[in-house]
Chain A
């Protein structure tokens, strides 16, 4: 990185420094009400972020309870198997509906999407706030269901168990999931309209950063799949309250219909979780390799391809539910084909690293961890999509390990990586890089100890969701539990490093990593309306115009050298 003296007044600097010192979206207005009724996408995003992290803590505690209970066969910390059922159900429901689904789109997406796009806000700020409060309502109902007798159905609420169990908290938690679904729909709707209608001049579809492509693909799934979950849960609520019998075989109904309905949403929901994660990884890897992303269009289109495939693979959750052999074969074949766009992305990321000038920052470590874990998670998915092996592996710990590698090892790791990537932008403070990196390594190791063990456990035949097990499985359960404690320690360290930034962190420069997309061109934290005037859009992956500045400890973008911004700039650039 060569140091180039800053121009005395560059076009970029105007938008940042034309503002009064210290005036940003966090300080622009003050008081509790300025937050509760805020329409600012960044503040709503920050509220989402704290809420989601709070739910993550809660879901994590239940995970640790589950793992601790499994240390020994038979009772360990609870005598009551039903209590154990409630723990894993709560862990699953909280992590899926309250944490992973909203974490990237609603929390990070809300903060970053409009800034990255060069817009002042999302298209419907009021709807945005409304969807946050829907999330809060869902969260409260979810917790309230605990007080009303809990629920032990598993997060999938399969009938007929969910319609006959005596646990009192089933209806509240179904209502919670219903409400959370609408929160997700409105976020998705908002993002689709924002991306379509609020792009500033110059921001064509193929100049959008890949994170936006990923959020866009996600939003489409949110809008199109979630209503089906809504109606399914509504039918389940009606089934439980007034006994209509549509899912009840004793009354001529069809319980497998419930499974179809549920997975028609919940499989696409898996991509609601992973697609935005892939978007974050595209950003982190490109920025930290200081090299133009390899295969931009392939990555963009593979997001859309994954979104399309996501709607036609739901039957692979039901290979053992008595589907016809023909359907099983079709669903298996289509499920395999999801591997193609996923692999396209992975190879493009690796190709971006190749000959890049890689900075091993904390977010970059998370991105590398993602590459490793996502590859394992994705490839083991192929084992499960194979009909013959799935019969053996179905409902074992192999499945548990597989979806934790994808949902936690990939989606959540990317979310934490993204949090580190944009933390300086969001709060204007740098965290302790060394501590963050160490925490990342501890989480990575703890994660593999926890879940790789579970692949072996599942292959050996340990069924999921069991309170008790054969003594020969104990050694694997102990290893797995130790791994989960390690991971928990890693997350505590992460929290220390991030929160510590508020007290000891240095003030973040506008562009600490050398990013080229628009969010790095406004101040850290951004001003309340993001851009005083519509920003000029260049090639968001052209890092040749990004230069290190010793004085601010960050990077600056020499826009005048970018032929796309300044057509008069040298022909040498155009040739590149």
Chain B
């Protein structure tokens, strides 16, 4: 972080609070001097530094929060590599790629917003904040189309994955909700029993051989009971599933490995949580925009833009890890 308040020798205002708190001192015991300086800080520099350390720590907790999911992803992928190499084809790389660009661009506009705030250019600041906000909306719209397409095809988590997609959507959803809280083992609706049984990999040469190392080298989950190397797939594993996915094909696809729903479970868990963070980020951006329009920010007082921007970058960064881990397995 290049900017320091003291270096400019001006009375800077800085916000004390990392995320979503207005930092004006009031309440129990306000002091009379600079309205931007909370009573318990000695200087604006100290206040700015505290906010900065606070937001970095908060970002560390975010990384660890997602870290749990990344570990779950790693464990699942290690124990079921065939599921990941197979199911990844159902994801739309183009849409995912566009979304990656959208988020990176929104990070650029966010960085510019911080710069504009530091250099007192209110118009540029407002424009960049709005552009960033639009990026968030664009991301969510594309995500909405991706999700709804998959939900339409029943490419979802849990038992509903095994419901033929030609059921009315409402039905499928109702079934999903109905079966959910009951004993999960018993509740799974198995339309194609072969796809949801004890993993019997030797019988199902579903795996793209290029993705799976021989049992002797590969992770434990791939080891075959027979000890034989993975039988080479008879055909390409359904090239371009994603583009021409006919509704319902995944259940009829003989190449589908057992427990493929797990891929979608972790996919929805991770992208869903990321989506929630995008929505929270939109809240932050809206609040920053409102304050920017009100004229709160200046070279003397830009901590809120700075910390909000850091939050937005982490949301972006997490997506940059999610995209290759799910979409670009091949």
Contacts and interface: CB of A to CB of B under 8 A. Distances in A.
27 contacts: A34-B28, A123-B16, A125-B40, A126-B17, A127-B18, A190-B54, A193-B53, A198-B40, A225-B64, A227-B62, A227-B65, A227-B67, A231-B67, A235-B72, A242-B158, A242-B177, A244-B157, A244-B158, A244-B265, A246-B265, A246-B266, A250-B184, A250-B185, A250-B188, A252-B258, A261-B68, A261-B71
A528 B46 CA distance: 21
B21 A126 contact: yes
B1 interface: no
B262 A529 contact: no
Given A189-B61, A246-B262, A231 B185 contact: no
B184 A248 contact: yes
Interface string A215-233: 0000000011111101110
A470 interface: no
Given A124-B21, A198-B50, A251 B176 contact: no
B268 A193 contact: no
B65 A248 contact: no
Interface string A377-413: 0000000000000000000000000000000000000
A354 interface: no
Nearest to B159: A243
B259 interface: yes
A146 to B, nearest CB: 19
Contacts of B185: 164, 248, 250-251
A252 B80 contact: yes
B251 interface: no
B29 to A, nearest CB: 6
A245 B262 contact: yes
A258 B131 CA distance: 41
Contacts of B266: 246
Interface string B31-71: 00000001111100010011001100110111011111101
The 3 closest A-B pairs by CB, nearest first: A252-B259, A250-B185, A231-B68
A228 B50 contact: no
A251 B266 CA distance: 13
A245 B187 CA distance: 12
B176 A242 contact: yes
B283 to A, nearest CB: 15
B262 A252 contact: yes
A28 B66 contact: no
A491 B173 CA distance: 54
Contacts of B181: 240-241, 243
Given A39-B28, A163-B184, A227-B62, 13 more contacts: A119-B40, A123-B50, A164-B183, A223-B61, A224-B61, A225-B64, A227-B68, A231-B66, A232-B68, A235-B69, A243-B180, A251-B259, A252-B259
Contact of B65 (A40, A198, A231, A246): A231
A179 B262 CA distance: 27
B33 to A, nearest CB: 14
Contact of A251 (B60, B75, B188): B188
Given A230-B65, A243-B158, A252 B16 contact: no
A254 B28 contact: no
Interface residues of B, number: 58
Contacts of A250: 184-185, 188
B196 to A, nearest CB: 8
B76 interface: yes
Nearest to A252: B259
Contacts, number: 164
Nearest to B187: A243
Chain B at the A interface: SS class? helix
A29 B28 contact: yes
A223 B28 CA distance: 28
A224 B64 contact: yes
B184 A245 contact: yes
Contacts of B11: none
B261 interface: yes
Interface residues of A, number: 56
A40 B54 CA distance: 19
Contact of A228 (B67, B75, B188): B67
A77 to B, nearest CB: 31
B40 A121 contact: yes
B72 A245 contact: no
A460 interface: no
Interface string A262-300: 000000000000000000000000000000000000000
Contacts of B259: 245, 251-252
A126 B261 CA distance: 43
Contacts of A248: 184-185
Interface in A558-573: none
Contacts of B199: 252
B79 interface: yes
Nearest to B31: A529
A39 B57 CA distance: 21
Contact of A189 (B21, B58, B65): B58
Contacts of A254: 75-76, 79
A120 interface: yes
Contacts of B49: 197
Contacts of B179: 243
A242 B184 CA distance: 10
B269 A235 contact: yes
A11 interface: no
A376 B53 CA distance: 40
B269 A238 contact: yes
Contacts of B46: 197-198
Given A193-B57, A231-B69, A232-B68, A244 B62 contact: no
A387 B160 CA distance: 43
Interface in B172-210: 176-177, 179-181, 183-185, 187-188, 199
Contacts of B72: 235, 246, 257, 261
A227 B79 contact: no
A196 interface: yes
Nearest to A37: B27
Contacts of B62: 227
A225 B65 CA distance: 9
Nearest to A114: B40
Interface string B258-274: 11011001101100010
A273 B192 CA distance: 51
A203 to B, nearest CB: 13
Interface string A527-560: 0110000100000000000000000000000000
A474 interface: no
A241 B80 CA distance: 24
Nearest to A200: B42
A40 B184 contact: no
B57 A223 contact: yes
Nearest to B57: A189
A369 to B, nearest CB: 35
B287 to A, nearest CB: 15
Contacts of A63: none
Nearest to A40: B28
A122 B16 CA distance: 11
Interface string A458-474: 00000000000000000
A122 B47 CA distance: 12
A38 interface: yes
